[in-house]
Structure 1
Amino acid sequence: MSLNKACMNGDVSQVQLILSGDEVVDINDQYSYSSPLYAACKLGNIAIVELLLATGRRVNINKGVHCYTDYCSNLFAAYTRGFRDIVKLLLTIDGINVNDGCYLMSTSFQHYDKQDFPLYYACKIGDYEMVKWLLKFEDIEVNRAIFNYDEPTNNEYVYSTLEHDSSDYPYLTTPLYAACKRGYLEIVKLLLQFRNISVNEGEVSPLYAAIMGNYIEIIECLLYNGALVDEKCEEAAQEMDIDIESILLRKTITLFKTLESNVFGKHVWRGDIYIETSKGL
């Protein structure tokens, strides 16, 4: 039995036997659109994942699985299936690509490629802990905009139990948009603390999503961090009967109150407005 097949069968003892033998084994071998590590991640078999990583061989942790034009990474396979222990383990490995996810090429029935990746998925399902973990990686693509979709599909590449919602698709949207659309305030706050966050990224803005969801606190957070109120947002605010001008006015009042109470010579930073108080006052 090959290593790949043993991993696909979840046979821990057979995997251990193969890895401890004298025969040269390709630990990254791909067979039947799977690899040893991918199979273990997909099945949630952490014992096999640990065995593969402990061999001392160069396991390609970022080598996902291709099937024709489709693709899925090991990390994404484990995460979207709920195998938290494997996700935590993979995130400790040097060189892990946290931006690698899933890709489904368009067909004659769908006109846009479908994509997803760990940070977007975490924001979409309200997984605060995972978002926090991912933001610790310097190369995290926090502003990456993708053609995402929420249709549940239970196949080789994507697994999602989310209710059907194709309204994100076919527009390029960001992880911040995904969190705003679903009202995950704490995740929105966490993302807004990130050093390179862009609140206006995407074909549909996070602010528009928050307005359409009537999430007032999220709207305030976005406006306080420089979100642009474009024509589409204005129309949405009218439709939802949300007074954007009053929120902006509260923002201005808050800024002045902060300035008044600030120690002279210090800096005040709120959203997109930067004030330096005069040391001579």
Structure 2
Amino acid sequence: MRRTTTMTTIAALGGTALLLAGCSGGSDASAGTDETGGEAAANVFEFQVNGIEPAEEIAVRVPDDLREAMGSEADGLVLNGFTVRAHDVEGAEFCAAELNLDWADGQPSGFIENNTEDLARAEGEQQLLDATGESSLDSLARTLDEVYSSAGVLGDDYSSIGQDSWDDIRTGLAEKGEGYSIFSEYATVPDTLTGQEMIDTFLDTSAENSGLDESSAVATLLGQDSSDATSIDEFDPNATEEGTFVAADHSSAIVVGDCAASATDPDNAFEVGLGSVDSDGEASSIAEVQLSVMTDGTVGVAGEVEGYMRDANENWIKG
């Protein structure tokens, strides 16, 4: 599958609070504005074949003609685009870019609500009830307590339980029904053996493995590693760490990655995705934007759209 890549460079201007330490100079950001008097037309990156001129701030957008060409494929788009500028950090190990995010209506709250740890825990609760046929978690806890009590280990320290007792537990669980085997095969264990402790351990682990907190959910929609995502309150420009730092209202994020040797350095670029969610709730990116951030505040932006490219007349075609 062919994908088209275009490149532009953002030269950060001096005197701006969000610029990288030591940056100076840059291009004239007074290029003509669009007819609405909004953002400068020359500062909008819509995956043009020849890119755009450098600017203090650039808006990356999914263009209307791409949406039209994609048809129903664009229905799941949750991020319309973002503006990007360099963010001030100390040192030369990492560089950072601040993204002001333009979400589609109802997002990212819709995705977050469907992918939180609370939802994962609720799904785990239903999984236990469906597997065992119990009417409630309290009833399930009492059934497990009966099995552990019959084996003589109810409330015992988990690590002290011997093999003979485990054999008795497995036999007791099998007598209760096939669905109870989940508690004899489950790898993560509580400190003490009670029905409630076993249920809580199962649900906590299910939520950790399946659910996303809000920062992680936003990072996923930006094509970032959700395990490296946290609140923007944790971002320290004087002790920068790699990752994605998300504002509480989800309107912005700071992405930290390797510093680039040049504004066209693909080896040290970090990618930001324009997120889309399919009918099954799975997130992916319809386009990727590569950010090559230099220590002097220059940011190179390369973009490619999955499955589509512009022809010589700048029209979108499948490719």
Which structure has more relative contact order (CA 8 Å, sep 6+)? It is: 2
More helix by share: 1
On whether the aligned pair clears a TM of 0.5, the verdict is no
Q: TM-score, normalised by structure 2?
A: 0.22
Work out which of the two has the higher radius of gyration on C-alpha atoms and give 1 or 2: 2
Provide TM-score, normalisation by structure 1: 0.25
